[in-house]
Structure 1
Amino acid sequence: MPADRLKVEVEGRSLELSNLDKVLYPEAGFTKGEVIDYYTRIAPVLLPHLADRPLTRIRYPNGVGGASFFEKNAPAATPAWVRTETLPAPGSSKGRETIDYVVADDLPTLVWLANLAALELHTPQWKIGDHPDMMVVDLDPGAPAALKQCCEVALLMRDRLAEDGIDSYPKTSGKKGMQLCCPIAGTQDSDLVSGYARRIAQELEKAHPKQIVSKMAKNLRPGKVFIDWSQNNAAKTTVAPYSLRAQAVPAVSTPLTWDEVEAGAAGKRPSTKPYTAGEVLNRVEKQGDLLAPLVEGGPELPES
């Protein structure tokens, strides 16, 4: 076996890892081996958020500074033990009617994906065969607005959703914005969920026009936070909690407490710099999974 390859057993599955010393985050010197180590250690809190969801990956075979590609289909050399599901492909850019998705339900699959330099993991708001069981509101700042302003808007959104009995759980995107994730009953279709999110975004825009925009036109966004309600479309995905992001450092989409969001709105962390892989592992050791309630389900959304 070549010196840059290593055979390992992961929960009874045989995998061959390669190029473990390859640097995937040059500015931080973070290697593929460290990516695999991170995903292995974060798996107990990550896997419940991936379970039964078709997975879209963004792969960076030559690191975050090199070319990347989205991958929905299971690659040709997918091991037979990796779970795949053939599902309709709404909005496929390649005109496909179906896609053979990978479903990452276990640690061996997660390690296999990390070895393919699948740094970013994205999931839809629905499980296979079900209606959406989660509503996601994406908060996207238009410069010079930044994460601080997202935290301010997140607090407004939290309070408005609470009026309808909807709990919301914040996380950073791992880039410049953040998301609010809301567990809902898996009984309503994506059009209803998207329509509700849009209505709330428009309400908040009307009440706070200097801070918030609900329309997608980019020329309306400078200095404001765009509440992207469209994430709940059946064809859309959102970065999974605890996923790495392709930034200069190994930033992570990080679950937050509401106390931290209030601190961010006051200009303190997390609005100053992203949390990284090592920091997130430490946070989970102390706090557990702040997004655990998402897998327990929630109420139906009120219809307009």
Structure 2
Amino acid sequence: MPDDTTHADRLYWPDERVTKGDLAEYGRAVWRWMEPHVTDRPLTVLRCPDGVTGDSFFQRHPWKGMRPHIQSAVDPAGDPGRPLIAISDLDGLVELIHSAVLEVHVWNAPLADLEHPDRIVMDLDPGDDVGWSAVCDAAVDVRDRLDRAGLAAFVKTSGGRGLHVVAPLRPQADWAAVRAFAHALADAMAHDDPGRYVSTISKARRHGRILIDYLRNQRTATAVAPYSPRARPGAQVSMPLSWSDLASGAVPGDFTIMNTPAYLARRASDPWAGFHATSRALPG
């Protein structure tokens, strides 16, 4: 296990008094749930050397002084001089934290097959005046549409005000096909209920409605990883939920770096335990 004690008392979330050492302990506590969703796939990370109140920057390529358990990975279709980054174990996650990584975002394809996504992510991004119950209803709508298409659906908080509905795929269809499917789903929702949904990014059109963001489903795009913290006040995390959790009133603020390990310890089961086993082919 790498040494992460250097500057362990550095405050990353000052209002919540969450330190670098606290974040490393959080990473260890959630690793067995987080591991299947972050290992051996390209990452984009948000580094915040001075915590959430300081400057931050996204990074997807190796940097000078990068620690040994953070790996370089070649993208066959990318610039050979600019490899991607990845981790394969807990040591890698701890070394990301040591490098002031507060958020971990993942590709929808594994390193073993970068041209064939193994999941679809539908990001539900509400306008400022949209209530939480409406976001939950939208997630159920996405789930039902995916179910009718023959795909399983899982849900997690985004760590902000929205939800991600994620469908595991057999890695057979290419990026263009997966993006087209996600785009069609978003457009269908916006067409069927234009008072509630929009599928275009323009914030001006989002007033009172939920953006069904399908653009996570294109090559090099990423989505925040399950259990990743968010570099925002409150220290919330992107929390996988069961559909019954959602129906029973779970809200994003329920899940933070401070309380998630204890919450997971008392759960009867992992709501995403069957994620990979339910992978299905993209409908024709």
TM over 0.5: yes
Partner Cα separation in structure 2 for residue 99 and residue 118 of structure 1? 20
Equivalent in the alignment of 2:242: 257
Q: Which runs of 4+ in 1 moved over 3 A?
A: 79-82
Q: How many residues align?
A: 281
| 1:270 to 2:255 alignment | no
Match of 2:60 among 54, 59, 72: 72
Q: Where does 1:102-251 land on structure 2 (aligned, <5 Å)?
A: 102-130=85-113, 131-251=116-236
Contact 2:242/2:272, CA 8 A, preserved across alignment: no
CA RMSD of aligned residues (A): 1.8
Equivalent in the alignment of 2:281: 300
Contact 2:48/2:56, CA 8 A, preserved across alignment: yes
Contact 1:244/1:252, CA 8 A, preserved across alignment: yes
1:108 counterpart SS class: helix
Larger Rg: 1
| 1:284 to 2:269 alignment | no
Cα pair distance change 1:97/1:212, threshold 3 Å? farther
Partner Cα separation in structure 2 for residue 252 and residue 21 of structure 1? 21
Deviation at 1:101, TM superposition (A): 2.3
Instruction: Give, as a single letter, the amino acid of the residue that structure 1 aligns with 2:139.
Output: A
2:236 counterpart SS class: coil
Deviation at 1:274, TM superposition (A): 4.5
TM-score scaled to structure 2, two decimals? 0.93
Partner Cα separation in structure 1 for residue 14 and residue 126 of structure 2? 27
Higher deviation after alignment, 145-154 or 294-303 = 294-303
Instruction: Give, as a single letter, the amino acid of the residue that structure 2 aligns with 1:103.
Output: A
Deviation at 1:193, TM superposition (A): 0.8
Q: Where does 1:89-100 land on structure 2 (aligned, <5 Å)?
A: 99-100=82-83
Partner Cα separation in structure 1 for residue 238 and residue 123 of structure 2? 12
Higher deviation after alignment, 115-124 or 71-80 = 71-80
Contact 2:47/2:56, CA 8 A, preserved across alignment: yes
Contact 1:87/1:98, CA 8 A, preserved across alignment: no
Deviations 1:92-132 (A, max 9, x none): xxxx5653222211111111111112010000100014210
Instruction: Give, as a single letter, the amino acid of the residue that structure 2 aligns with 1:186.
Output: P
Contact 2:104/2:224, CA 8 A, preserved across alignment: yes
1:236 counterpart SS class: coil
Deviation at 1:288, TM superposition (A): 4.0
TM-score scaled to structure 1, two decimals? 0.87
Partner Cα separation in structure 1 for residue 256 and residue 211 of structure 2? 25
Partner Cα separation in structure 2 for residue 89 and residue 58 of structure 1? 24
Contact 1:239/1:253, CA 8 A, preserved across alignment: yes
Cα pair distance change 1:22/1:79, threshold 3 Å? closer
1:252 counterpart SS class: coil
Instruction: Give, as a single letter, the amino acid of the residue that structure 2 aligns with 1:181.
Output: V
Partner Cα separation in structure 2 for residue 68 and residue 281 of structure 1? 26
Partner Cα separation in structure 1 for residue 81 and residue 281 of structure 2? 29
Structure 2 gap segments, 5+ residues each:
none
Instruction: Give, as a single letter, the amino acid of the residue that structure 1 aligns with 2:156.
Output: K
How much identity, in percent, do the aligned residues show? 31
Partner Cα separation in structure 1 for residue 133 and residue 77 of structure 2? 36
Deviations 1:137-173 (A, max 9, x none): 0000011014332111001111111111111100000
Contact 2:120/2:178, CA 8 A, preserved across alignment: yes
1:39 counterpart SS class: helix
Partner Cα separation in structure 1 for residue 197 and residue 138 of structure 2? 7
2:155 counterpart SS class: strand
Cα pair distance change 1:109/1:135, threshold 3 Å? same
Partner Cα separation in structure 2 for residue 101 and residue 288 of structure 1? 34
Deviation at 1:293, TM superposition (A): 2.5
